[in-house]
Amino acid sequence: MRIDGVLVALLATVSCWALNVIVVKWAVQQWSPLTYSVWRNAIGVLFALAILKATEGSVRIERRDVPLVALSALIGIVINQLGFMYATTYTTATTISLLLASIPAFAAVSASVLGHERIGARHWSGIGVAAAGTALVLVAGAGTLDLTSLRGDLLALLAAATWGIYSVLVRPLFARYSPNRISTLVLASAVPMLTVISLPQVLHQDYGAITLGGWGALLFSVFFGLVFTNIMWFGAIHRGGAARATAVMPIQPFLGALFAWALLGETVTLLQVAGGVVIVLGIWMTRRRPVPASSA
């Protein structure tokens, strides 16, 4: 039987991304959130730049594109990491995984607001269904909900929203650069900003208290949550197309919930699962391609 290499790469990628949420959730017991994020992204960008240089021969972009890359870095990496990393300290990995499934809905709304696409009634209906699923996931914790967990839930939504917006912001750049170049240069632009914000935590981190497992978690997040997964993802898109890659994405939140149950002992409620299913249903409803907005 012939093995579908594209499907294997896609499944491996979403599995690593799902597992990374659990790894980070565990790691922030030893690492301060922003210290972990800075080291992960700083180490990752060095490898990403080296790979980009080796594969494309250059890491340059046109001067006119620098402002857009910087804005994308601020929203898609810096603010996104603030939301995601602090969400891991305040709420469960299960909730984070399921809420991140709403990213395509945020991307669709952003595309409409920015004038990239005209979204029809079916698309808006799908976004509404996804929003209802998001509400279910939030309500699922109502029995134990407190200010801390609610804060974490909202931060997870911030992470989903900023990644969705970022995905739309960089679209004009795809006409001139490869996806790998765009993601690498956005990350390179974000690291200095993230470092400045995180410097107090970086300087006060007790590195001696970090166990071998804590360092291993960081290395996993660098290579299997960032570097290798980007290579596999963009390679699979190049060979199999974006539509096929997108079709696999709904698996990620449920893998995240499964990993959280198996590895962290988190309780996964039926209401959370129902919310995740409704989110995915809403995203599936939006799969019909919107009409591109007029450039006039």
- pLDDT per residue, tens digit, the chain (296 aa), is 566 777 788 888 889 999 999 999 999 999 999 999 999 999 999 999 999 999 999 999 999 999 999 999 999 999 999 999 999 999 999 889 888 888 877 887 888 787 776 767 776 777 777 777 777 777 765 545 556 677 888 999 999 999 989 988 988 998 899 988 999 999 999 999 999 999 999 999 999 999 999 999 999 999 999 998 888 877 776 676 665 666 677 788 888 888 998 999 988 778 778 877 887 777 777 665 443 333 33
- The full 3-state SS of the chain, as one line of letters, equals CCCCHHHHHHHHHHHHHHHHHHHHHHHCCCCCHHHHHHHHHHHHHHHHHHHHHHHHCCCCCCHHHHHHHHHHHHHHHHHHHHHHHHHHHHCCHHHHHHHHHHHHHHHHHHHHHCCCEECCHHHHHHHHHHHHHHHHHHHCCHHHCCHHHHHHHHHHHHHHHHHHHHHHHCHHHHHCCCHHHHHHHHHHHHHHHHHHHHHHHHHHCCHHHCCHHHHHHHHHHHHHHHHHHHHHHHHHHHHHCHHHHHHHCCHHHHHHHHHHHHHHCCCCCHHHHHHHHHHHHHHHHCCCCCEECCCC
Q: Which pLDDT value is given to residue 242? A: 60
User: Which structural domain range is residue 223 located in?
Assistant: 5-292
Give pLDDT, residue 249.
74
> What pLDDT shows up at residue 270?
80
Res 290: pLDDT: 41
Q: What is the pLDDT of residue 109?
A: 80
Q: Can you give the pLDDT at residue 99?
A: 86
Domain tally for the chain? 1
